[in-house]
Amino acid sequence: MALFDQQGKDTQGEVSQMRSQGVPDHVIMNDLTQRGYAPEQVHQAISQLDQETSEEILTPRGSDFSSQSSASSSVDQGNIYERIEEITEQMIDERWDELIREVKKIVEWKNKIEEQEIKIQRDLDKLKEDFKILHQGVLGKLEDYDSRMQDVGTELKAVGKVFKDVIPEFVDNVKEFSRLNKGLKK
Protein backbone atom coordinates (compact mmCIF):
# COMPACT_ATOMS: atom_id res chain seq x y z
CA MET A 1 0.00 0.00 0.00
CA ALA A 2 1.62 3.29 -1.12
CA LEU A 3 1.54 6.32 1.16
CA PHE A 4 0.56 9.69 -0.28
CA ASP A 5 0.84 13.07 1.40
CA GLN A 6 -1.65 15.93 1.22
CA GLN A 7 -0.45 16.98 -2.24
CA GLY A 8 -0.71 13.46 -3.66
CA LYS A 9 3.07 12.77 -3.63
CA ASP A 10 4.09 9.11 -3.41
CA THR A 11 6.24 9.16 -0.26
CA GLN A 12 6.85 5.42 -0.18
CA GLY A 13 7.89 5.43 -3.84
CA GLU A 14 10.41 8.21 -3.19
CA VAL A 15 11.79 6.38 -0.15
CA SER A 16 12.00 3.10 -2.07
CA GLN A 17 13.76 4.76 -5.01
CA MET A 18 16.33 6.49 -2.76
CA ARG A 19 16.97 3.27 -0.82
CA SER A 20 17.58 1.40 -4.05
CA GLN A 21 20.30 3.99 -4.78
CA GLY A 22 21.93 3.16 -1.43
CA VAL A 23 20.96 6.40 0.35
CA PRO A 24 20.86 5.99 4.17
CA ASP A 25 17.53 6.51 5.96
CA HIS A 26 18.57 9.67 7.84
CA VAL A 27 19.63 11.30 4.55
CA ILE A 28 16.32 10.23 2.97
CA MET A 29 14.46 11.79 5.92
CA ASN A 30 16.36 15.09 5.60
CA ASP A 31 16.08 15.24 1.82
CA LEU A 32 12.36 14.50 1.63
CA THR A 33 11.43 16.88 4.46
CA GLN A 34 13.41 19.62 2.73
CA ARG A 35 11.44 18.91 -0.44
CA GLY A 36 8.16 19.45 1.39
CA TYR A 37 7.18 15.99 2.60
CA ALA A 38 5.79 15.79 6.12
CA PRO A 39 8.30 14.20 8.52
CA GLU A 40 5.66 11.83 9.93
CA GLN A 41 4.77 10.70 6.39
CA VAL A 42 8.44 10.02 5.53
CA HIS A 43 8.98 8.15 8.80
CA GLN A 44 5.86 6.06 8.22
CA ALA A 45 6.98 5.23 4.65
CA ILE A 46 10.43 4.14 5.90
CA SER A 47 8.85 1.99 8.63
CA GLN A 48 6.43 0.40 6.18
CA LEU A 49 9.23 -0.41 3.72
CA ASP A 50 11.26 -1.94 6.57
CA GLN A 51 8.30 -4.07 7.55
CA GLU A 52 7.67 -5.19 3.95
CA THR A 53 11.36 -5.97 3.49
CA SER A 54 11.48 -8.07 6.65
CA GLU A 55 8.29 -9.91 5.64
CA GLU A 56 9.77 -10.63 2.20
CA ILE A 57 12.93 -11.95 3.80
CA LEU A 58 11.09 -14.10 6.29
CA THR A 59 8.32 -15.36 3.96
CA PRO A 60 9.27 -15.47 0.30
CA ARG A 61 6.43 -15.04 -2.20
CA GLY A 62 4.70 -18.16 -3.51
CA SER A 63 5.34 -20.30 -0.43
CA ASP A 64 4.25 -20.32 3.15
CA PHE A 65 6.68 -20.43 6.04
CA SER A 66 5.75 -23.94 7.11
CA SER A 67 6.75 -25.49 3.79
CA GLN A 68 10.22 -23.97 3.73
CA SER A 69 13.16 -26.20 4.33
CA SER A 70 15.84 -25.44 6.85
CA ALA A 71 18.15 -24.52 3.95
CA SER A 72 15.86 -21.67 2.76
CA SER A 73 15.51 -20.53 6.37
CA SER A 74 19.27 -20.15 6.65
CA VAL A 75 19.29 -18.25 3.32
CA ASP A 76 16.65 -15.86 4.74
CA GLN A 77 18.73 -15.37 7.86
CA GLY A 78 21.71 -14.76 5.60
CA ASN A 79 19.73 -12.01 3.84
CA ILE A 80 18.91 -10.40 7.19
CA TYR A 81 22.55 -10.54 8.18
CA GLU A 82 23.56 -9.11 4.80
CA ARG A 83 21.11 -6.22 5.28
CA ILE A 84 22.39 -5.65 8.83
CA GLU A 85 25.96 -5.80 7.55
CA GLU A 86 25.11 -3.39 4.75
CA ILE A 87 23.48 -0.91 7.15
CA THR A 88 26.41 -1.25 9.56
CA GLU A 89 28.91 -0.65 6.77
CA GLN A 90 26.97 2.45 5.68
CA MET A 91 27.00 3.78 9.23
CA ILE A 92 30.71 3.06 9.59
CA ASP A 93 31.43 4.70 6.22
CA GLU A 94 29.48 7.82 7.26
CA ARG A 95 31.30 8.04 10.59
CA TRP A 96 34.63 7.38 8.87
CA ASP A 97 33.96 10.18 6.36
CA GLU A 98 33.09 12.53 9.24
CA LEU A 99 36.28 11.54 11.04
CA ILE A 100 38.36 12.10 7.89
CA ARG A 101 36.82 15.57 7.44
CA GLU A 102 37.64 16.46 11.04
CA VAL A 103 41.19 15.11 10.74
CA LYS A 104 41.68 17.15 7.55
CA LYS A 105 40.57 20.27 9.46
CA ILE A 106 43.10 19.47 12.19
CA VAL A 107 45.86 18.89 9.63
CA GLU A 108 45.04 22.20 7.90
CA TRP A 109 45.11 23.98 11.28
CA LYS A 110 48.46 22.31 12.11
CA ASN A 111 49.94 23.38 8.77
CA LYS A 112 48.72 26.94 9.29
CA ILE A 113 50.27 27.04 12.78
CA GLU A 114 53.56 25.63 11.44
CA GLU A 115 53.63 28.30 8.70
CA GLN A 116 53.04 31.00 11.32
CA GLU A 117 55.76 29.51 13.52
CA ILE A 118 58.23 29.57 10.60
CA LYS A 119 57.29 33.20 9.82
CA ILE A 120 57.72 34.20 13.47
CA GLN A 121 61.09 32.42 13.60
CA ARG A 122 62.24 34.29 10.45
CA ASP A 123 61.06 37.59 11.93
CA LEU A 124 62.88 36.83 15.18
CA ASP A 125 66.09 35.94 13.33
CA LYS A 126 65.85 39.19 11.33
CA LEU A 127 65.21 41.14 14.52
CA LYS A 128 68.30 39.56 16.14
CA GLU A 129 70.41 40.45 13.09
CA ASP A 130 69.08 44.03 13.08
CA PHE A 131 69.82 44.34 16.81
CA LYS A 132 73.33 43.01 16.29
CA ILE A 133 73.95 45.60 13.55
CA LEU A 134 72.49 48.37 15.74
CA HIS A 135 74.63 47.23 18.70
CA GLN A 136 77.78 47.28 16.59
CA GLY A 137 76.87 50.76 15.29
CA VAL A 138 76.28 52.12 18.79
CA LEU A 139 79.56 50.61 20.03
CA GLY A 140 81.37 52.14 17.05
CA LYS A 141 79.90 55.56 17.80
CA LEU A 142 80.82 55.24 21.47
CA GLU A 143 84.41 54.37 20.58
CA ASP A 144 84.48 57.34 18.18
CA TYR A 145 83.10 59.70 20.86
CA ASP A 146 85.55 58.29 23.40
CA SER A 147 88.54 58.97 21.17
CA ARG A 148 87.24 62.48 20.43
CA MET A 149 86.74 63.15 24.12
CA GLN A 150 90.32 62.00 24.79
CA ASP A 151 91.50 64.42 22.07
CA VAL A 152 89.43 67.22 23.64
CA GLY A 153 90.87 66.34 27.05
CA THR A 154 94.38 66.51 25.67
CA GLU A 155 93.66 69.85 24.01
CA LEU A 156 92.13 71.22 27.23
CA LYS A 157 95.25 70.20 29.14
CA ALA A 158 97.39 71.95 26.53
CA VAL A 159 95.21 75.08 26.75
CA GLY A 160 95.39 74.86 30.55
CA LYS A 161 99.22 74.81 30.40
CA VAL A 162 99.21 77.74 27.98
CA PHE A 163 96.86 79.69 30.23
CA LYS A 164 99.03 78.79 33.23
CA ASP A 165 102.02 80.35 31.50
CA VAL A 166 100.15 83.26 29.89
CA ILE A 167 97.82 84.32 32.72
CA PRO A 168 100.49 85.55 35.17
CA GLU A 169 102.12 87.53 32.40
CA PHE A 170 98.71 88.82 31.27
CA VAL A 171 97.90 89.90 34.84
CA ASP A 172 101.25 91.69 35.09
CA ASN A 173 100.61 93.45 31.79
CA VAL A 174 97.15 94.54 32.92
CA LYS A 175 98.58 95.93 36.16
CA GLU A 176 101.27 97.81 34.25
CA PHE A 177 98.71 99.13 31.80
CA SER A 178 96.58 100.27 34.68
CA ARG A 179 99.52 102.06 36.24
CA LEU A 180 100.42 103.74 32.96
CA ASN A 181 96.86 104.71 32.43
CA LYS A 182 96.77 106.42 35.88
CA GLY A 183 100.00 108.18 35.10
CA LEU A 184 98.62 109.53 31.84
CA LYS A 185 95.51 110.79 33.51
CA LYS A 186 97.53 112.90 35.94
Angle at CA of residue 183, ends 178 and 186, nearest 5°: 130
CA-CA-CA-CA torsion sign (53, 48, 26, 9): positive
Distance CA 81, CA 93 (A): 18
CB-count exposure of residue 24 (10 Å: 0-12, 13-18, 19+): middle
Kindly indicate the confidence band of residue 122, based on its pLDDT and cuts at 50, 70 and 90.
very high
Mean pLDDT of 121-139: 95
* Per-residue confidence (pLDDT) for residue 117, from 0 to 100: 97
Contact 28, 18 (CB under 8 A): yes
Kindly indicate the confidence band of residue 10, based on its pLDDT and cuts at 50, 70 and 90.
confident
The 10s digit of each residue's pLDDT in 141-162 is: 999 888 889 988 889 888 888 8
H or E element at residue 119: helix 70-185
Using the predicted structure, report yes or no on whether residue 108 has a pLDDT greater than 80.
yes
Kindly indicate the confidence band of residue 43, based on its pLDDT and cuts at 50, 70 and 90.
confident
The 10s digit of each residue's pLDDT in 48-94 is: 888 887 766 555 544 444 444 555 555 566 678 888 989 999 999 99
pTM across the whole model: 0.36
* Beta-carbon count within 10 A of 32 CB: 23
CB-count exposure of residue 53 (10 Å: 0-12, 13-18, 19+): middle
* Per-residue confidence (pLDDT) for residue 171, from 0 to 100: 87
Question: For the chain, what is the mean pLDDT?
Answer: 84
* φ/ψ (deg, to 5) at 51: -65, -45
* Per-residue confidence (pLDDT) for residue 57, from 0 to 100: 59
* Per-residue confidence (pLDDT) for residue 124, from 0 to 100: 97
